Amino acid sequence: MASLADLLAIHTDLPGRAARHLQRIAGEWQLLADLSFADLRLWVRNDPEGDTTDPAYICIAQCRPNTTSTVYDSDGVGVVVPPWEAPTLHAAFEGGVVVRGVTPAWTGPARVRREAVPVPSDGEVVAVLTRDFNVTHPRTPSPLEVAYTECADDLCTMVAEGTFPEPEELPTGEAEPRAGDGFIRLDGNGRVVFASPNAQSAYRRMGAPTDLESSELAVATAELVGDSFESEDLAAALDGALHRGEGSRIELTKGGVTVVLRVLGLHPGGRHDGAVVLLRDVTELKRRDRALISKDATIREIHHRVKNNLQSVSALLRLQARRTRNDEAKRALLESVRRVASIALVHETLSMSVDEHVDIDEVVDRLIPIMGDVAPAGGSAAVTVVRRGDIGLLDADRAMPLVMVVTELIQNAIEHAYEPGESGTIELLAHRSTRMLEVTVRDDGAGLPPGFSLAGSDRLGLQIVQTLVKSELGGTLTLTSRDGGTDALLHVPLQPV
């Protein structure tokens, strides 16, 4: 399904400022749907060619409430309606005021009453937010429902005035409080006029001795938490919400219980109408976060120790290579030094990573200077290795074998593509799509010898490469000669087939 940004680009020519405002509304409106006990839909003029002479309206987003059943069985995104079929919607667009439908209409098995809220940007109505209420079975609302709907009405008025959401509203996250987690309504003096059962329970878990209703929330919280800094943060947040309409988020901890509070100032029509506080007990989330942080730190420490041990092995092999007088043994030892160094670099990268992913390009760039450790017989060749394109990030399971394969192919080209003392250039070419990684090691050397077969090669490096490509990467490797060199082409699938 197309995203909100895609639909706006396809069906409107709204400026970026207006589009960002609509995206902020879509990021906040789950709260509005829950407080309203209503389905929300966001509508814009359907004018892909910029023609507004005969407007129709298209639904670009929809939000269902968590606090009641939806009135729509199907998704309305993409539905286009002419103005005569949606008079309430049309009136809000044209008049720029909240329009409440008088006569409910049947939508399937439900009777639905619609309210249309204009969404302005820079003084112009750019969209309309509709609230569709199920009025099939009217009943007397509970105190919680009354508190919810009064708050929702204030927020909708602020939407129509362009004051909600705030232009620099903080991003939401996993621990963002929702209406059902805990809801407190404050009057203009900061006194609690309503607190939901979940909000009362959260405060009781922190040690509150009495109910919150009729208390001054800042004072009650200060007496509860006993932390002057947290108390001052909450007092400042409530003052900003009550007197300046500012929103904020704070975190309180008491007795091993952690609660996140979000404070929203209510100022419909420019009057300060109190505030709403949403709160959520995130104690378990915090415990899981701490466990994950501890686990990540342990894993990084393991990678760090493995890297140190491998570097010790590499140093011992290098020392042994310097002492041996047999050229073939020295070459074998230096090849082992390079292979161990490749593995150590991957572990070093993982020891500094928080998500078990490795930047292959960074590792390869650090390994390229090590390639000169094994030079062609008869003297060092002036061979330059150049990387073009980005391999990107890979998970640890694939990073290790891929780095080994790439370094072996480069080293193989250095050793066998050029005569002693001959200069040349080896290119590492990378192309990555969503499904496939293609890596080519291209040299401008002598090419493959006559009758060469990759499967029948007795070179240890190529045997290692073939094993890693097939068993660890699930990919394919081909070596082909061309005029003026050899191409080693590696294909690695990035998604399971």
Question: DSSP strand E in 241-400: where?
Answer: 248-254, 257-265, 275-281, 357-359, 383-388, 393-395
| 356 has pLDDT over 80 | no
Measured distance CA(54)–CA(221) in Å, rounded: 56
Domain ranges of the chain: 4-161, 183-281, 286-493
Confidence of residue 173 (pLDDT cuts 50, 70, 90): low
CATH number for the region 183-281 comes to 3.30.450.20
Q: Which two tokens stand for residue 465?
A: 């490469």
Query: Which DSSP symbol is given to 32?
Result: H
Measured distance CA(224)–CA(254) in Å, rounded: 8
Report yes or no: 267 and 163 within 8 Å, Cβ to Cβ. yes
- Residues linked to residue 251 through DSSP beta bridges, in sequence order: 260
Q: Which two tokens stand for residue 402?
A: 């891929």
CATH number for the region 286-493 comes to 3.30.565.10
Report yes or no: 135 and 113 within 8 Å, Cβ to Cβ. yes
Q: Which two tokens stand for residue 302?
A: 């393991």
- What number is the average pLDDT over the span 410-422? 83
pTM over 0.85: no
- What number is the average pLDDT over the span 66-79? 92
What residues contact 351, with CB distance under 8 A and at least 6 apart? Answer: 300, 301, 303, 304, 307
CATH number for the region 4-161 comes to 3.30.450.280
Give CA separation, 201 vs 45, 89, 207, 211, 351, in Å: 45, 41, 10, 9, 42
Measured distance CA(249)–CA(263) in Å, rounded: 6
Of 28, 14, 270, 18, the C-alpha closest to 119 is 18
pLDDT value, residue 53? 58
Confidence of residue 58 (pLDDT cuts 50, 70, 90): very high
pLDDT, tens digit (0-9, with 9 covering 90-100), for 298-335: 777 777 788 788 888 888 888 888 888 888 888 788 87
| 447 has pLDDT over 80 | yes
Domain 183-281 and domain 286-493, same fold? Reply is no
pLDDT, tens digit (0-9, with 9 covering 90-100), for 250-263: 888 888 889 999 99
Measured distance CA(102)–CA(259) in Å, rounded: 42
Q: Where are the alpha helices (DSSP H) in 426-482?
A: 460-467
Q: At what angle do helices 360-367 and 327-351 cross, to 10 degrees?
A: 150
Give CA separation, 345 vs 105, 230, 244, 293, 349, in Å: 67, 44, 54, 23, 6
| 375 has pLDDT over 60 | no
